[in-house]
Structure formats: C-alpha cells, structure tokens
C-alpha cells in the first residue's frame, strides 16, 4: 500500500543526500524505473531497504558444517567486505489444523561486495540449498 503524502510538509521524515553514479549505470537505473512506472527515487529507496535488511558485515562463506542437514554460512571479519543474504533459519508456521510446524530456510549468499585490494563484486556462489 502506498504511503499518503504529507501535504503540509512532504519532506517530513526524509533526508536528502547525493550519490554519483557512472553515467551508463545511471541510465540503466533510470530505464528500469521508467519501465516499472516508478520514480528513480522509489527504485533506489526500495533497493536500499532490501540491502539494509540483508546486509552482513564481513566476508561470507559457505561452511562444511551443517544445520538440520543443510550447509550453513559463516562470516569472516574483513574490513571492506559486506555480503548480502541470510544464514540458516527455522521458520514456524501453522498447518490447517493450527499445529505449529517448522520449516527449514537454508542460508544463502546472494552477492558480496569486496572493496579490499581484490575490488570485486562476487555473485557466483554455487547454490547451496541442498542437504548433505
């Protein structure tokens, strides 16, 4: 559901900041927003919220350890690195009779930013959603 605009003070609760993008990247962002019929601001706000909710400081890696039979993820302290994804989780749901059931959500690394001397954006992690 869209938020109502505040007619008296439309910038209430907002902070303005400036980013610089490579021209080709900005044009791609602009095109995606246009194709989706949203503003560049809405697009960047949505991406930023997702990133903040999925950011893990350090270098993420799949371990040989397992949780409930699934490969898990650990974080190695490393300045200049942020990985995006989540570790293994157990979600509780209710079945049709109201009984609580547990559902395994395997850990996954979606991508990783590495601003050490390696300077890479790593997104080629093998999909690890399997049991050992």
78 Cα distance to chain centroid: 19
Instruction: Tell me the average pLDDT across 76-95.
Output: 86
Domain contains 84: yes
Is residue 41 located within the same domain as residue 84? no
Is residue 65 located within the same domain as residue 118? yes
Q: 20 pLDDT exceeds 50?
A: yes
Tens of pLDDT, residue by residue over 107-123, are 888 989 999 988 777 76
86 Cβ contact list (under 8 Å, min separation 6):
54, 73, 105, 107, 108
* Containing structural domain, residue 36: 23-54
Kindly report whether the global pTM for this prediction surpasses the value 0.85: no
Q: What is the pLDDT of residue 35?
A: 98
Is the separation of the CB atoms in 86 and 105 below 8 Å?
A: yes
Tally of domains within the chain: 2
């Amino acid at each position: 559901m869209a938020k109502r605009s505040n007619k008296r003070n439309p910038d209430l609760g907002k902070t303005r900041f400036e980013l610089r993008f490579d021209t080709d990247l900005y044009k791609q962002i602009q095109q995606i927003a246009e194709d989706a019929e949203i503003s560049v601001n809405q697009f960047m706000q949505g991406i930023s919220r997702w990133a903040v909710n999925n950011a893990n400081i350090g270098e993420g890696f799949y371990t040989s350890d397992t949780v409930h039979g699934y490969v898990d993820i650990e974080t190695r302290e490393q300045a200049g690195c942020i990985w995006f994804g989540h570790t293994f989780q157990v979600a509780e749901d209710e079945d049709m009779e109201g009984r609580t059931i547990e559902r395994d959500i395997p850990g996954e690394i979606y991508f990783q930013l590495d601003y050490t001397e390696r300077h890479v954006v790593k997104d080629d992690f093998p999909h690890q959603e399997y049991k050992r």
